A and B are shown apart, each in its own frame.
Chain A
Amino acid sequence: MDIFLQQILNGLVLGSVYALVALGYTMVYGILGLINFAHGEVVMVGALVSLSVIEVLLGANLGIPAPLVGVMALVVAISVCMALGFSIERVAYRPLRRAPRLAPLITAIGVSILLQTVAMLIWGRRYHTVPALIPPTPHTFAGATITNVQILIIVVSALIMAGLMGLVHFTRLGRAMRATAENPVVAGLMGVNINRIISATFVIGSALAAIAGVLVSSNYGIAHYYMGFVLGLKAFTAAVLGGIGNLPGAMLGGLLLGLIESLGAGYVGDLTGGFLGSHYQDVFAFLVLIMVLVFRPTGLLGERVSERA
C-alpha cells in the first residue's frame, strides 16, 4: 500500500510539471487556434538560463545564500523566457495571423528546431549537472518518501495555477483574455486591444514555462538542450486530454497524465504478468489519451476554442 502512495506522489510531481507547461499550450490554442510547438523549448531555455545564472553566481563566490541564488536564477529565467515568448509571437506568429492554419503550425515547428539548435550552440550537447541549491532531504511518511524539491514542485505549481485562475477570472486583463478567447473580432470592437492581449498570453505562458523548467531541472539535477521536446509533447497531450483551450482542463489533464504514467510504469508489468514491461509506460499513457478522445473527443472537461466567424 505504501508503494501505491509513493507512485501517487511520483505521479503528482510529474503531473504538476506537465500541468504548468500544458497551461501555456492551452491558453495559446484557446485564443489563436495555434499549437505552439516551441513552448517545450521555452521550458528548456528557462532551465538552461537558470543553470547558467546559478553557475555564475556560485562561481563568483559572493557569499550569497543558496536559496537566494535560486530565486535570482528563477527571476532571470522568467524574464528571459517572457522576452523570448514575446519575440516568438511578434516575429513568427503575428505575421501569419490571417494565413491558413498550416502555416503557423509549420512555423511553430521551425521555431522549436531553431531554439534547440541555438541552445545546442550556446550550452553544448552534454547533459549539464544542476547544482542542488535546496538539499534534497527525503521526508518519509506512511511509507512513502518525498524530497524537499518535490514538495516545492507540487506546492509552487498549485499556487501558480490558483494565481492564474484568479488572474483570468477576477482581473481586467483576465476578462479581456476571456473575451478574446471567446471571439477576437467582437472583443476588438468592444475596445480590447487584441494584439496586447495575445502578447500577454504568450508572456504569461512563457513565465510558467520558465518556472516549470527550473523546477524540472532542479528535481532531476540535469539540464540539456533536448529536454524540452518530449516534455512539450507530453504537456500538449495533457492539454488535449483535459480539453484544449480550457484552463482547468489543462491542469486536470496534466495531473492525470502524470499519475497515469507513474502508475502505468509501476504496475503494467505486474498487471500483464510480465508480458508488457515498464518501458511501455509511454504507450500506456497515449493509449489512455486515445480512449478518452474516442469516447469524448473534446477532452475530459470540454474544449474551449474561439469562434471564428
Chain B
Amino acid sequence: MNTRDLSVHLKTLVVGVAAAMALALAGCGKKDEAIKIGHAGPLTGPVAHLGKDNENGVRLALDEANAAGVTIGGQKATFSMQSEDDQADPKQGPIVAQKLVDAKVAGVIGHLNSGTTIPASKIYHDAGLAQISPSATNVTYTHQGFKTAFRVMANDAQQGKVLGDYAVHKLGAKNIAIIDDRSAYGQGLADEFEKAAKAAGGQIVTREFTGTDKTDFNAILTSIKGKNADLIFYGGMDSQAGPMMKQIKNLGISSKFLTGDGGQTAEFLKLAGDAGEGAYASSPGVPLDKMPGGKAFADKYKAKFNIEIQLYAPYAYDSANVLLEAMKKADSTDPAKYLPILAGITFQGVTGNIAFDENGDIKGGSISLYQAKGGKWEYLDTIGG
C-alpha cells in the first residue's frame, strides 16, 4: 500500500465511522421521556448492604411518585433511577459521578461514604447538578463553597462534639484510645471526637490507625491494652467495628467501646455477635420510631423489599422526595431552575423537617445515642435539634 492508497482508506474509514455515529445519534433521539434520577453508592464490597439500603430508599420514593402521578412543566413526569456502584472507593467516586453527569441525570442522591462524596461533589458542581447525600457526614463536603452540595443529616462537627462530650461526661472516660480507618469519614470523625474529648477534659492515650479493608486488629488492640484506656473510640464502618469488638473481647480488654454512625447498624450486631454487647454508638437524627413518619416508612419498606432497614434508607427516601419537591415547585427538571428552590425549601420528610442552611447542611440536625443490648440497639438520648 502506498501513501495515496493509505489516505484513501483513511478517508473511507472516517466517513464510515461518521455515518455510523450519525445513525446511532439519530436512533437516540427523543425516545426517553423518563426523568433519570441518579443514585451512587457502594453496591459491592464491605458496606454493600448500606449502599443497597440507600438505593432501596430512593427506589421507593421514585415508585411512589410515579404511582401518584406528577406533572412537571405541563407534562406527566415518570422517574427512573440510574444506580451506580462506587465501591466505597474514593478513586471510583469521581468516575461514577462523571458517568451520571454524562447520562444527563436530573439530580443525584449520593454518595454514601464521605470518602467518595467529597471528590464526586466537584464533578457535580462543575456540571451544575444537584447532589443530596443521605449519609456523608464529613464536614468538608458542604464547606467547599458548592451551591450544589446538600445533606439531610447532621455533620461530623456536630457528631464528633456530641460523642466527645458524651464519652467524658456521661460515660466517665478519663483515658481514651482512638482508632480510625484513615478514610475521609473515619479520620474526620475521629479528629472531631478528639477535639471535643480533650475540650471536655479527657486524656487521649493513643491514636491508632487501620484500613477500610483490614480484618485483623490484634496488633493495635494489644498496643491499646498496654496503655490501659478506659474507652476505645473507633471512627469507621460496621464491617470493621464488628470484628474489632470480637477481637477486643478475645484479648480480654474491658474498655468501653464507642463508635459513630458507621457502626450503628444491624450488620455490626451480626458481625460482633455476643462480643458486641454493651457497645455505644451514635447516629445523626432520631431513631426510626421517633421519626414523624418512621413507622409508616418502615412498614412500607419491609412490604416492598422484604428485608429490614439497615441505616440510611429513610434519609435516602427523604433526599429523593425533597429533590422531587424542588422540581415540582420549580416546575422544571433543569438544575439551574430548581437549585435555588432547593436551597430555600422547607419539606416535611419521614425523618423530620428538612431545610438547608447557607452551606447545604441541614438546619437543626440532631445526634442520637444508642447502646447494644441483647442483640439490639437500645435508644439512649438525643442531643441537639
| A residues neighboring B (CB under 8 Å) | 2-3, 6-7, 10-11, 13-14, 120, 125-127, 129, 132, 136, 138, 140, 145, 147, 150, 220-222, 224, 226-227, 230, 261-267, 269-270, 274, 277-279, 281
Contacts and interface: CB of A to CB of B under 8 A. Distances in A.
B44 A277 contact: no
A266 B220 contact: yes
* Interface-centre pick from B208, B222, B250 (highest chain A CB count, 10 A): B222
Contacts of B45: 125, 226
Contacts, number: 93
Contact of B225 (A3, A222, A224): A3
Given A125-B43, A127-B239, A145-B250, 14 more contacts: A6-B225, A6-B251, A7-B219, A14-B216, A14-B218, A132-B273, A136-B250, A138-B251, A145-B252, A220-B246, A221-B243, A264-B219, A270-B223, A279-B211
Contacts of B252: 138, 140, 145
A139 B251 CA distance: 9
B219 A10 contact: yes
14 contacts: A7-B219, A7-B222, A10-B218, A126-B49, A138-B249, A138-B250, A145-B251, A221-B246, A222-B215, A226-B45, A230-B213, A263-B219, A265-B219, A265-B220
B328 interface: no
Given A140-B252, A145-B252, A261-B219, A129 B271 contact: yes
Contacts of A140: 252
B209 A262 contact: no
Contacts of B44: 120, 125
Contact of A3 (B209, B210, B226, B246): B226
Nearest to A216: B215
Contacts of B246: 136, 220-221
A271 to B, nearest CB: 12
A198 to B, nearest CB: 34
B147 interface: no
A104 B210 CA distance: 35
Contacts of B207: 269, 274, 277
A163 to B, nearest CB: 26
A279 B210 contact: yes
B71 interface: no
Nearest to B251: A145
B273 A129 contact: yes
Contacts of B251: 6, 138, 145
B66 interface: no
Nearest to A140: B252
Given A125-B44, A140-B252, A279-B182, A3 B222 contact: yes
B243 A262 contact: no
B270 A262 contact: no
B273 A221 contact: yes
A286 to B, nearest CB: 15
Interface in B170-224: 182, 206-211, 213, 215-216, 218-220, 222-223
Contacts of B182: 279
B163 to A, nearest CB: 21
A217 to B, nearest CB: 10
Nearest to B220: A278
Nearest to A219: B216
Nearest to B247: A220
Contacts of B249: 138
Nearest to A131: B273
Interface string B252-292: 10000000000000000011010000000000000000000
B362 interface: no
A265 B206 CA distance: 13
A95 B64 CA distance: 57
B48 interface: yes
A264 B216 CA distance: 13
Contacts of B46: 127, 224
Interface string B215-242: 1101110110110000000000001000
B216 A220 contact: yes
Nearest to A263: B219
B248 to A, nearest CB: 11
B222 A10 contact: yes
A291 B222 CA distance: 27
A221 B271 contact: yes
B206 A269 contact: yes
Nearest to A227: B215
B79 to A, nearest CB: 27
Query: Which 4 A/B pairs are nearest by Cβ-Cβ distance?
Result: A265-B219, A279-B209, A3-B226, A10-B218
Contacts of A126: 48-49
